[in-house]
Amino acid sequence: MHYVYLLQSLYAPNRHYGGLTDDLHERLRAHDRGDSPHTARYKPWRVVAAVQFADRERAAASEKYLKSGSGRAFAKRHFP
């Protein structure tokens, strides 16, 4: 399975990050360890939303949308 996820920083609650992974729990641990330079500065993180996909292409398309301007606006409206 493939997951598109939205994280919120516990350090700076106005900071969010969206991504794609096959192992949601391990990916959250990686973000909290500081393995990603994009998120290391604002750790720790919590999962705000996650959507599971059987098809990787659909998951990748969903992640791409989430990272677009309209996707960020959608996330801000629905996952404050």
pLDDT tens-digit readout, 22-65: 999 999 999 999 999 999 999 999 999 999 999 999 999 999 99
Give per-residue burial for 50-79: e unless 16+ CB within 10 Å, then b: eeebeeeeebeebbeebeeeebeeebeeee
- pLDDT band per the 50, 70, 90 thresholds, residue 79: confident
- pLDDT band per the 50, 70, 90 thresholds, residue 80: confident
Give the type of residue at 41: R
pLDDT tens-digit readout, 65-74: 999 999 999 9
According to the model, what pLDDT value does residue 55 have?
94
According to the model, what pLDDT value does residue 6 have?
96
- Domain spans of the chain, in order of start: 2-78
We find that the CATH architecture of domain 2-78 is: 3-Layer(aba) Sandwich (3.40)
